[in-house]
A and B are shown apart, each in its own frame.
Chain A
Amino acid sequence: MRKILLLVAVVAACGGGLEPEPICARTLVGLCGTVRFRGTVPANTENVFIAAYLTFPQTCTDLINNRRPVIPGSVPFTDSIALYSVPLSPGVYDWVLAVWKKPGTLTLTPADTQYLRVAGYYRSPPPGDSSRPGVVTVPSGAAAGDIDFVVNFDSLRPATDFVTCTAQ
């Protein structure tokens, strides 16, 4: 009996339950950083989320189908700066961006682009060309930190500025 009670105590004491998980937690596999907001938040704003692409999308279909994660989280946009984190598989990501969304049900099809705008993206750090997207490497079992970028609500850009869309 004492052995059983000891076993219970040991098993129960070994933790393993849900724990607080701050942005950029040590357990995160993905990327994290800050988003700084500028401009006037549009009245029809529903959400802002972070997305990543292993290869830069060429078409609207790529834009929707290759997005990671498939179902986006959200970043609070009411303050001038927000922390964010995105769980991702390890790999080299060509494009990490903030997406603005207006009300509408996403269908995971190119038609989604009618609700979405590119709000900002992580840019190549110095000495690289800061007008171009920066490449982010998510290491195995860890997070890529300090992936910071700016969202300007006054210059939300449609997907067609970046990719070819045959229909929306």
Chain B
Amino acid sequence: MHRAIATLLIVVAPLPAAAQGVVRGTVRDKDRGPISGASIAIPGTTLSTRSDPQGAYRIDDVPPGRVRVYAAALGYGPIDTVVALTGGDSTTLDFSLSPAPLALPPVDVVSDRVPHFGDRPATSVAQVTERDLDRRAVNTVDEALDHVSGLQMVNGQTNVRGSTGYVQGLNSRVLMTVDGIPMNQGDRGGINWDLLAVDEIERVEILKGAGSSLYGSAAFGGVINVTTRDVPAGLHTRVRLTGGMYGDPPYPIWRFRDSPGMLGGADVAASYGTDVAGGRISVGDRHSDGYRQQDQDDHLHFAGRARWQHANTRVDVSGAWAVDRYDAPLSWCARGECDDQGQVFQPFKVDTTERGARTDSRKGYLAARVRTTVSPRFAWTARGSWLRTHFVDLRRSATEYGVGDRLGAAGQIEAHPESTRTVIVGAEATFSAVTSDIFGTHSQSELAAYGQSEQRIGALRVSGGARLDFLAVDGGSLTAVVSPRVGATLNGMWRASVGRGFRSPTMAERFVHTTALGFDVVPNPTLRPETAWSFEIGHTSAPLLRFMRLDAALFWTEARDLIEPQVLLIPPDTVKIQLQNVVRAHIAGFDASVIAAPIPDRLIATLGYTYLDTRRRLAGDSIEGPLAFRPRHLLTLGADYNLGALGVGADFRFASRPERIELEGFVDPRRVTVKVLDLRAAWKPAGGPVEVRLLASNVLNYIYNLVPETLAPVRTVTLTAVWTH
């Protein structure tokens, strides 16, 4: 006991100021161009940072002696070096990284909530980088996520390795965090993809599999962590203009307007920073005519961020506010519901009885984070956040509204008692409240504590931890959920993990009372949390055949109490729809991704494939087919060719036809395979302030739907110009 206390005191005790040094410098490529967003860290300590747009970095409070410094950036080979630092010295250490498209990208925030500079986590992590966002010229993050192996966006809901089906707007089995702060809606648990302007985003990391052991509810299927851009030193401005056009229906009999639909938008961001403080504001506006009847969308957003650094403490405050007014296209027109022109269905038109339906939506968040690096061995972080969503659905048949708030507070301690060991402990409290005419007035409290330790033993790195969550609805009794997890990596190439995830029902799922498909949807306050044990084993091979990197994983999830909509026959004479815990589910599969660079510096190709085998079991272990909305095969292909300032690329997505949908027999069962080809071109002179990008998404104008009676986007051509200063 005495030894433990002594160790704790040593870890917590700050080093004398005179003993601390500074490592600073730049990270550049072989042509001396700055590399922005590179990770620079002193492994085994709390000390790390990222390079700014000029490639500059600075790490304070570095202990004297021989210090190992690690630098890495996506697409470049990492450098691990040692510098000798005398107490109080400031050392300049410049890195020159060589292109290495097959090198494993640095992963900073992962399931363990521990920085893993140079190491791979024990569970699969995919990354969407700033470059991916730029080259795809997307307006919202979800548009870029669709190209990630093992992930499918289904009308705004995220399906990671088969975790999620589709229940419109009532839940999410994937947790979204922004700079580590949970951002799922307080009432419905969903994700507001348009709350963050894409220009604010530096990168996205997707943790696949049950990550609840440290992240808690909603991380049932995975975690999507968005890292926003830091505020660099100096004055910076960025203007982004987008204009485009939607394709017409490919068959004249589906035409619904005389001229093509247009879309356009503008985003402006400005920032100023010094070594001590900085701030950024941005504003953006978008309009879209939509690609189908009654599909207009107007979007306006504001965002801001500020940072302040004093000694070894850093404070970050960020916020955003978005206002949307969009038409609700509802279901497509079936025979007789519109001017059907003798067709069984008109996918571009809507039921005339719901013409004029629209949604007004306002949402915003405010978050603050304080991190103090007490010593190279000890740091603590505290954060608070508030997320508000407000929607009003205006329909001819009914007007519905909902106001949801999510307040969160958390604290975490990161300790490195030895260079080979990391310990994380933390606690979180979340309070969610909703006021709505379809969800009622309710609240939900979640209290959690978690801990994780990680130990390196030679080439083996082992981690283990657990999280304990207490949930209470409307101040009622607490429900406890325990989520343990263990993982290991070997040589950074092999990985294995086992974990238990859970998802608490959202208040929308418990208390929704509305109508759908002509039937009443009734509440079910007795819903239990969904739980799942997930297993994964994976391997990374690089280089393979000299020009490829292969990452493959086998995964297996056994889930209980999944929440799905059921049709109820309630005696004596009523039919209703209710969300119930009805299913035990088995989700197993294989996930592989390949990156190939057959012509270094010029051509990069990617391939991602996921095979899913899902089984849904009702009471008594009777097997009743696959889970709804889970395609058995998901395939993504991509290629980029660069020649000087010019670049061209292509992406292809394939998803097999889902074998089962929810409420079959009550909705139009039409569904097809997904085969979408995107083409793009870019012109970006080296060092120039302007870049221009042309994107043709769904260039073959393939007409498909992901959910019943809802047409997916058609061919869209956009031209984006970005000016950066």
Q: Are A17 and B336 in contact (CB under 8 A)?
A: no
Q: Are A1 and B705 in contact (CB under 8 A)?
A: no
Query: When the two chains form the complex, which single residue of B251, B670, B675, B705 contacts A16, counting CB atoms closer than 8 Å?
Result: B675
Q: Are B573 and A109 in contact (CB under 8 A)?
A: yes
Q: Is B93 an interface residue (CB 8 A)?
A: no
Complex interface residues of chain B between 316 and 370 (CB less than 8 A to chain A): 334-337, 340, 342-345, 347
Residues of A within 8 A of B251 (CB): 19-20
Nearest-CB residue, chain B, relative to A23: B342
Residues of B within 8 A of A75 (CB): 335-336
Q: Are B607 and A4 in contact (CB under 8 A)?
A: yes
- Interface residues as binary, A1-43 with B (CB distance below 8 Å gives 1, 0 otherwise): 1001101100111101111111101001000000000000000
Shortest distance from the beta carbon of A11 to any chain B beta carbon, whole Å: 6
Known contacts A1-B603, A107-B574; A17 and B340 CB within 8 A of each other: no
Residues of A within 8 A of B342 (CB): 22-23, 83
Residues of A within 8 A of B673 (CB): 16
Query: When the two chains form the complex, which single residue of A1, A8, A16, A71 contacts B598, counting CB atoms closer than 8 Å?
Result: A1
Shortest distance from the beta carbon of A13 to any chain B beta carbon, whole Å: 8
Q: Are B336 and A76 in contact (CB under 8 A)?
A: yes
Tell me the bound Cα distance from A74 to B596 in angstroms: 53
Tell me the bound Cα distance from A19 to B347 in angstroms: 9
Query: When the two chains form the complex, which single residue of B334, B575, B652, B711 contacts A108, counting CB atoms closer than 8 Å?
Result: B575
Nearest-CB residue, chain B, relative to A73: B335
Nearest-CB residue, chain B, relative to A32: B344
Tell me the bound Cα distance from A23 to B345 in angstroms: 9
- Interface residues as binary, B569-599 with A (CB distance below 8 Å gives 1, 0 otherwise): 1001111000000000000000000001010
Known contacts A1-B598, A71-B665; A76 and B518 CB within 8 A of each other: no
Shortest distance from the beta carbon of A104 to any chain B beta carbon, whole Å: 10
Nearest-CB residue, chain A, relative to B702: A17
Query: When the two chains form the complex, which single residue of B344, B518, B700 contacts A105, counting CB atoms closer than 8 Å?
Result: B518
Q: Is A84 an interface residue (CB 8 A)?
A: yes
Q: Are B702 and A12 in contact (CB under 8 A)?
A: yes
Q: Are B704 and A18 in contact (CB under 8 A)?
A: yes
Known contacts A12-B677, A16-B675, A20-B343; A74 and B336 CB within 8 A of each other: yes
Residues of A within 8 A of B573 (CB): 107, 109-111
Q: Are A73 and B336 in contact (CB under 8 A)?
A: yes
Q: Are B654 and A11 in contact (CB under 8 A)?
A: yes
- Interface residues as binary, B678-713 with A (CB distance below 8 Å gives 1, 0 otherwise): 000000000000000000000010111100000100
Q: Are B704 and A12 in contact (CB under 8 A)?
A: no
- Interface residues as binary, B107-119 with A (CB distance below 8 Å gives 1, 0 otherwise): 0000000000000
Known contacts A73-B334, A110-B573, A111-B573; A18 and B344 CB within 8 A of each other: no
Q: Is B517 an interface residue (CB 8 A)?
A: yes
A-B contact count (CB 8 A): 99
Q: Are B665 and A1 in contact (CB under 8 A)?
A: no
Query: When the two chains form the complex, which single residue of A5, A12, A109, A110 contacts B574, counting CB atoms closer than 8 Å?
Result: A109
Complex interface residues of chain B between 629 and 679 (CB less than 8 A to chain A): 637, 639, 650, 652, 654, 665-667, 670, 672-673, 675, 677
Tell me the bound Cα distance from A91 to B342 in angstroms: 26
Nearest-CB residue, chain A, relative to B517: A71
Q: Is A92 an interface residue (CB 8 A)?
A: no
Shortest distance from the beta carbon of B32 to any chain A beta carbon, whole Å: 31
Q: Is B605 an interface residue (CB 8 A)?
A: yes
Tell me the bound Cα distance from A74 to B668 in angstroms: 13
Tell me the bound Cα distance from A69 to B675 in angstroms: 31
Query: When the two chains form the complex, which single residue of B337, B569, B639 contacts A1, counting CB atoms closer than 8 Å?
Result: B639
Residues of B within 8 A of A105 (CB): 518-519
Query: When the two chains form the complex, which single residue of B517, B605, B675, B704 contacts A11, counting CB atoms closer than 8 Å?
Result: B675
Nearest-CB residue, chain A, relative to B667: A71
Tell me the bound Cα distance from A4 to B608 in angstroms: 12
Nearest-CB residue, chain B, relative to A69: B665
Nearest-CB residue, chain B, relative to A109: B573
Tell me the bound Cα distance from A85 to B340 in angstroms: 13
Q: Contact size class for A?
A: 35 or more
Known contacts A105-B518, A107-B573; A8 and B637 CB within 8 A of each other: yes
Tell me the bound Cα distance from A17 to B569 in angstroms: 36
Tell me the bound Cα distance from A73 to B709 in angstroms: 13
Residues of A within 8 A of B677 (CB): 8, 12
Nearest-CB residue, chain A, relative to B596: A1
Nearest-CB residue, chain A, relative to B607: A4
Interface centre among B517, B575, B654 (most CB of A within 10 A): B575
Q: Are B253 and A12 in contact (CB under 8 A)?
A: no
Known contacts A1-B603, A8-B650, A75-B335; A70 and B575 CB within 8 A of each other: no
Tell me the bound Cα distance from A22 to B340 in angstroms: 10
Residues of B within 8 A of A83 (CB): 342
Nearest-CB residue, chain A, relative to B520: A105
Known contacts A12-B675, A16-B675, A19-B251; A85 and B335 CB within 8 A of each other: yes
Q: Are A18 and B518 in contact (CB under 8 A)?
A: no
Q: Are A21 and B702 in contact (CB under 8 A)?
A: no
Residues of B within 8 A of A69 (CB): 665
Interface centre among A21, A69, A74, A111 (most CB of B within 10 A): A21
Nearest-CB residue, chain A, relative to B670: A18
Residues of B within 8 A of A17 (CB): 672, 675, 702-704
Tell me the bound Cα distance from A106 to B455 in angstroms: 63
Shortest distance from the beta carbon of B550 to any chain A beta carbon, whole Å: 15
Residues of B within 8 A of A16 (CB): 672-673, 675
Residues of B within 8 A of A84 (CB): 335
Residues of B within 8 A of A21 (CB): 343-345
Residues of B within 8 A of A71 (CB): 517-518, 665-667
Q: Are B347 and A18 in contact (CB under 8 A)?
A: yes
Q: Are A8 and B703 in contact (CB under 8 A)?
A: no
Complex interface residues of chain B between 60 and 106 (CB less than 8 A to chain A): none
Residues of B within 8 A of A23 (CB): 335, 342-344
Q: Is B391 an interface residue (CB 8 A)?
A: no
Nearest-CB residue, chain B, relative to A110: B573
Tell me the bound Cα distance from A4 to B652 in angstroms: 11
Q: Is B254 an interface residue (CB 8 A)?
A: yes
Tell me the bound Cα distance from A132 to B353 in angstroms: 36
Tell me the bound Cα distance from A12 to B635 in angstroms: 12
Residues of A within 8 A of B705 (CB): 18
Tell me the bound Cα distance from A87 to B703 in angstroms: 22
Residues of A within 8 A of B344 (CB): 21-23, 25, 28, 85
- Interface residues as binary, A58-72 with B (CB distance below 8 Å gives 1, 0 otherwise): 000000000001110
Q: Are A18 and B703 in contact (CB under 8 A)?
A: yes
Q: Are A4 and B639 in contact (CB under 8 A)?
A: yes
Tell me the bound Cα distance from A26 to B426 in angstroms: 63
Given known contacts A1-B596, A8-B677, A71-B517, what 16 new A-B pairs fall within 8 Å (CB)?
A1-B598, A5-B650, A8-B650, A12-B677, A16-B672, A18-B704, A19-B703, A20-B253, A20-B254, A21-B345, A71-B518, A84-B335, A85-B344, A107-B574, A108-B569, A110-B573
The 10 closest A-B pairs by CB, nearest first: A74-B336, A109-B573, A21-B344, A17-B703, A18-B703, A111-B573, A8-B652, A108-B575, A17-B702, A76-B336
What are some 28 contacts across the A-B interface (CB < 8 A)? A1-B598, A1-B603, A1-B639, A4-B605, A5-B639, A5-B650, A11-B654, A11-B675, A13-B700, A17-B675, A17-B703, A18-B705, A19-B251, A20-B253, A21-B344, A22-B342, A22-B343, A71-B517, A71-B518, A71-B666, A74-B335, A84-B335, A85-B335, A107-B573, A109-B572, A109-B573, A109-B574, A110-B573
Binding site for A on B (CB under 8 A): 251, 253-254, 334-337, 340, 342-345, 347, 517-519, 569, 572-575, 596, 598, 603, 605, 607, 637, 639, 650, 652, 654, 665-667, 670, 672-673, 675, 677, 700, 702-705, 711
Binding site for B on A (CB under 8 A): 1, 4-5, 7-8, 11-14, 16-23, 25, 28, 47, 69-71, 73-76, 82-85, 105-111
